[in-house]
């Protein structure tokens, strides 16, 4: 049994205590969010919005208490003076002070009034998005989204930024990320992906069979398949559960209670499987965090980009590999004999790796997926910088989709309304998906060096060597190391997009 994070330093001990109390309030808030998206009755929304606003205000008041600021300042001074003295602070101590300071600095710039208003606006926005998405009525979402956008602009202005207002929001999800850095990484990547796409569109002439889509797959069977896959890759159902929601997500109430959800579509087994593996990757990260930091600000993924590297590694680098389907095809044949009884692993592999521009991001192939992300980041950056209006979003979206993917969504539900993120105020989140692809490829390159027969393990259904490697190198550390520090610690170099490009070129040559 790993002992919890303890210290003989009274100031660190007090900061740890405060961090734990804040973590508990955040966990209670997340529990209300989970319930809202899974089991809350429709009429509960008015009370839920108020409850979330109250908890958010309590969290904000506790975090901005002068004691927290004084304690952080004192510890920063002590850590600075400790160099060369008898008093020492380890990486965990330093990281706790760093993360608490990061949260405190941001919170003290944002008034409690804004915190309450954002909680109310996003709770209302989520319900409006659900209706707009279901009924293909963008007009239902215009006013709630405008309210959220106004509040996020106010937040960015209060937090501060050097060049672009968008920078003030990017940093929330990926520490120290700027729009300039996004441009430096994404522009060359976009060009390489477009080259690959053009090449494949002229050479890829064999259409795959529709095996995981287009047939009727019973809900209970799909849930059983997803549960089996989650269990096999290491997800602990004694520390989590699987439920259904309008949009798949993973949520953490503590590193021994991490839950996943999925979205059921009767004619789309493939989407259900890949969503399960994707969310499972997120959950494994949270479940793998060291017990020593399990009730503190360090008990979370170090950034959303690193988090996405874990989900997308399981979903794509593992889940779309031929060895993966050599293992799982017999199981699917047994569970769905009428639909998949005569299917081969090679046929499924071809289907799940077919490159074809489509409307839906979460169903996109590995080539076009990042073009979907670039559309979204360009739009939300322009929204935050007031270059476009909310009412014009469908037209802007469709124009960019046609220019980038060569297709125009026939409905807003298949276009601008497809993602939940903006309804939750998650503006600045989308770039982390592509960063996740880049991190994942670089981590995978190192993992293959350390585990040369990794694909043999996958083909035999033994996923534990992969999980053990990820836990030791990434999961265990939680937020102790910043993203760039962690990447260098694990791979020996800074983030390098070449590993992702090389992976795609090898796969689609």
Which residues are known to be catalytic? 279
Alpha carbon distance 99, 298 (integer Å): 7
Q: What is the DSSP string of 246-279?
A: SS--EEESSTT-EEEEE---TTBHHHHHHHHHHH
Closest CA relative to residue 139, chosen from 496, 413, 410, 443:
413
Following DSSP, what letter does each residue of 354-419 receive, concatenated?
A: -----S-GGG--TTTHHHHHHHHHHHHHHHHTTSS-GGGHHHHHHHHHHHHHS---SSSTTTTTS-
**Cβ neighbours of residue 317 under 8 Å, at least 6 residues apart?**
440, 441, 444, 503
Both tokens of 268, joined, read 């789309």
Q: Answer left, alpha or beta for residue 371, where phi above 0 means left and psi between -120 and 50 means alpha.
A: alpha
Helix 304-312 vs helix 483-491: angle between axes, to the nearest 10 degrees?
A: 50
Q: How far apart are CA 391 and CA 143, in angstroms?
A: 9
Per DSSP, the residues of 19-61 read HHHHHHHHHHHHHHHHHHHHT--GGGHHHHHHHHHHHHHHHHH
User: Rounded to whole angstroms, what are the CA distances from 254 to 289, 360, 441?
Assistant: 10, 32, 28
Structure tokens at 254: 């503590």
Q: How many CB atoms lie within 10 A of CB 475?
A: 21
d(CA 10, CA 16): 10
Dihedral over alpha carbons 412, 414, 419, 420 (to 10 degrees): 60
Q: Which of 152, 141, 176, 151 is nearest to 162 (CA)?
A: 176
- DSSP classification of residue 313: I
Residue 38 CA, chain-centre distance (Å), reads 19
List the beta bridge partners of residue 251.
259
Q: Using the structure block, give the residue that is written with the tokens 């059983």.
A: 224
Phi, psi of 336 (to 5 degrees): -130, 65
Backbone angles phi, psi at 266, to 5 degrees: -55, -35
């Amino acid at each position: 049994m790993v002992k919890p994070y303890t210290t003989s330093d009274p100031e660190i001990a007090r900061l740890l205590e405060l961090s734990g109390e804040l973590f508990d309030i955040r966990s209670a808030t997340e529990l209300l969010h989970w319930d809202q998206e899974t089991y809350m009755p429709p009429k509960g929304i008015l009370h839920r919005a108020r409850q979330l606003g109250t908890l958010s205000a309590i969290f904000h008041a506790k975090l901005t208490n002068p004691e927290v600021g004084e304690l952080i300042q004192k510890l920063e001074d002590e850590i600075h003076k400790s160099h060369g003295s008898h008093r020492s602070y380890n990486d965990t101590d330093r990281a706790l002070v760093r993360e608490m300071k990061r949260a405190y600095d941001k919170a003290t710039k944002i008034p409690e009034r804004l915190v309450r208003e954002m909680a109310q606006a996003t709770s209302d926005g989520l319900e409006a998005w659900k209706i707009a998405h279901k009924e293909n009525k963008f007009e239902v979402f215009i006013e709630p989204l405008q309210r959220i956008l106004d509040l996020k602009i106010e937040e960015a202005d209060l937090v501060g930024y050097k060049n672009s207002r968008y920078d003030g929001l990017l940093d929330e999800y990926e520490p120290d990320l700027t729009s300039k850095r996004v441009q430096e990484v994404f522009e060359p990547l976009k060009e390489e992906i477009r080259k690959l796409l053009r090449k494949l569109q002229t050479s890829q002439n064999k259409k795959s069979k529709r095996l995981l889509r287009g047939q009727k797959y019973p809900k209970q069977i799909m849930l059983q398949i997803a549960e089996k896959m989650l269990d096999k890759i290491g997800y602990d159902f004694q520390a989590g559960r699987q439920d259904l929601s309008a949009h798949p997500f993973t949520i953490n109430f503590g590193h021994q209670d991490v839950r996943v959800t999925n979205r059921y579509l009767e004619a789309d087994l493939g989407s259900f499987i890949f969503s399960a593996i994707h969310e499972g990757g997120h959950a494994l990260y949270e479940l793998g965090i060291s017990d020593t930091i399990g009730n503190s600000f360090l008990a979370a993924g170090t950034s959303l980009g690193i988090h996405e590297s874990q989900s997308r590694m399981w979903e794509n680098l593992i889940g779309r590999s031929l060895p993966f389907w050599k293992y799982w095809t017999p199981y699917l044949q047994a569970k769905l004999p009428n639909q998949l009884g005569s299917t081969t692993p090679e046929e499924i592999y071809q289907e799940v790796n077919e490159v074809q521009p489509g409307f839906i991001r979460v169903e996109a192939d590995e080539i076009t997926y990042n073009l979907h992300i670039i559309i979204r980041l360009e739009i939300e950056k322009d929204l935050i910088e007031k270059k476009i209006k909310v009412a014009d979003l469908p037209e802007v979206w469709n124009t960019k989709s046609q220019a980038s993917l060569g297709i125009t969504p026939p409905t807003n539900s298949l276009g601008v309304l497809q993602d939940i993120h903006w309804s939750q105020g998650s503006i600045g989140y989308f770039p982390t998906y592509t960063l996740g692809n880049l991190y994942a490829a670089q981590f995978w390159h190192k993992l293959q060096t350390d585990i040369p027969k990794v694909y043999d393990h996958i083909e035999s259904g033994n996923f534990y060597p992969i999980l053990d490697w990820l836990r030791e190198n990434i999961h265990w550390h939680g937020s102790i190391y910043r993203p760039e520090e962690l990447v260098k610690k694990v791979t020996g170099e800074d983030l390098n997009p070449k590993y992702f490009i090389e992976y795609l070129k090898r796969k689609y040559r």
